[in-house]
Amino acid sequence: DLPFAENYRIKMVEPIYRSTRKEREEWIKQADYNLFNLPSEHVFIDLLTDSGTGAMSDRQWGALMTGDESYAGSSSYFNLKKQVKEIFGFDHFLPVHQGRAAENVLFSVLVKKGDVVPGNSHFDTTKGHIEFRKAKAIDCSVDEAFDTNGNHPFKGNIDLEKLSQVLESYPHEQVPMIIVTLTCNSSGGQPVSLANLREVRQLADRYEIPVIFDSARFAENAWFIQNREPGYQNKTIREIVREMYELADGMTMSSKKDGIVNIGGILAMRHEDWFQQASVYNIMYEGFNTYGGMAGRDMNALAVGLDEVTSADYLENRIRQVHYLGNQLINMGIPVQNPLGGHAVFVDAKRFLTHVPKEQFIAQTLAIELYLEAGVRGVEVGTLLADRDPVTKENRYPKLEFLRLAIPRRTYTNNHMDVVAAGLKNIFDRRESITSGFQITQEAPIMRHFTVKLKPQ
Ligand code: F0G
């Protein structure tokens, strides 16, 4: 057997700078120990996010050149609309500038003060848009999602008991929708099974509640179904995606992930009346309904990206690279969320830095250590991200503190992954000596992690 290799070659390269530890010590201080504040030139390997950071294909770059920039009725819009219908099956489509914009437009129609929105660990912008409307996001993730040791194949699944409880406890009018995030980013890029989606749909039907899929990484989710769920091995990714979306009333999507484009988003739905109302908000917030904040060329590139991302070959390359990094860490004894997810490796910071108190931001401390050690920028998915409770204003300490290493699509080589693993190994070897973290000197009232300022404890 021959070894596995990528099914693409590289046509254009972008230099990146390998800095010294001394330089990084100065830079991170200037950035107030917030990795979002670092200029990208100060980062060697950027695993902050897989959002908008992928490399487009030659076909996508070709599609850019034929984008139609007409304000109304752009042919690029119709290309994308056709692709959305073909892949997801929705008749009604609105382009938006990114995922949170789709949330903003849809929630403007559906969510009101006092509502509750159950789901599987809502992403922070999703939760932000719910809480901003004085409604509440209720996490109904399966308990297995919070045990990084367990090997449950679908840790993104919704716990049907928890969901029933919510649907039983609140009047129908107060539950505008159930949101299922595919894959579930917050719990580690963990997939949701088709069996679970079907059961959620049945429950939703019983209570007459719509189901929305947050679709940022829908294709990666379909790949896990194909590889892990009995009965799907011989179905194509496209067939699996169609089967998934038959169970939804609508979708929001950040196309910066599985759209493999740098900016853009999708809002699509089954119901004409939602579409009419959403169109008004889209025009107000995003732009006219045939562009919604996207350039024509970007809609064209997205139409091609959706085609490429739903290929099993593409997905195998993609997820193999994430697992290439993850398996190295596992072999080094470094605690990570198991099984490995689709877009990122989530390092279990609580089990890694056992001597740092939770009040001092464990995962952020590890993120800073890794930057100093190897010039690698990951991101905290922990107490900073969890924000304060909107009512009590107390810090919310999540069950898990992760350092997320998100892998951009088609961007880095496995040599880069080797550097990341070696950097973490060095820290792991001296983890006992890391006993203190950071304290906040300045923070915003909502989504504080983007702009928070810190200093060493
Ligand atoms: N939903 C999920 C599951 C996401 O992961 C994101 C973004 C969004 C919605 C919002 O989309 O950024 O286009 O407005 N996640 C990025 C990340 C930022 O780094 O995981 P957006």
Domain residue limits, the chain: 21-50+312-456, 58-309
Of 81, 127, 256, 257, which one is the catalytic site residue?
257
pLDDT of residue 148: 87
> Which residue's CA lies nearest to atom 19 of ligand 1?
49
CA 228/CA 62 separation, integer angstroms: 35
In angstroms, the CA 249 to CA 341 distance is 26
| CATH no. of 58-309 | 3.40.640.10
Say yes or no: CB of residue 221 within 6 Å of ligand 1. no
Catalytic residue flag (residue 162)? no
User: pLDDT (tens digit, 9 = 90+) per residue, 224-263?
Assistant: 999 999 999 999 999 999 999 999 999 999 999 999 999 9
The CATH number of domain 21-50+312-456, selected from 3.40.50.2020, 3.90.1150.10, 2.60.120.650, 3.40.50.1100: 3.90.1150.10
Helical (H) or strand (E) element with 46: strand 45-46
How far is residue 175's CA from residue 405's CA, in Å, rounded to a whole number? 34
Task: Return the bridge partners of 381, or none.
Answer: 402
Looking at residue 186, its pLDDT comes to 86
The predicted structure's pLDDT at residue 378? 98
Report the side by side order of strands in the sheet with 265-269: 92-96, 265-269, 250-254, 211-214, 178-181, 116-119, 136-139
Structure tokens at 445: 């009232």
Sites in the chain below the pLDDT cut of 50: none
Cβ-Cβ contacts under 8 Å for 108 (sequence gap 6 or more): 278, 281, 285
CB atoms within 10 A of CB 161: 10
Q: Is 214 a catalytic residue?
A: yes
**Is 257 a catalytic site residue?**
yes
Mutational test site, ligand 1, from 123, 141, 184, 346, max ligand atoms within 8 Å of CB: 123
- Determine whether the shortest distance from the Cβ of 123 to ligand 1 is under 6 A: yes
Count Cβ atoms within 10 A of the Cβ of residue 303 and give its class: 0-12 exposed, 13-18 middle, 19 or more buried.
Answer: buried
124 assigned to active site = yes
Looking at residue 126, its pLDDT comes to: 95
Which ligand 1 atom is the nearest neighbour of the CA of 48?
19
The label of the residue with tokens 């493999």 reads 260
Kindly state if the Cβ of 98 falls inside 6 Å of ligand 1. Answer: yes
C-alpha to C-alpha distance for 177 and 172, rounded to whole angstroms: 10
Q: How far is CA 198 from CA 123, 166, 192, in A?
A: 22, 18, 10
Q: What is the pLDDT of residue 119?
A: 98
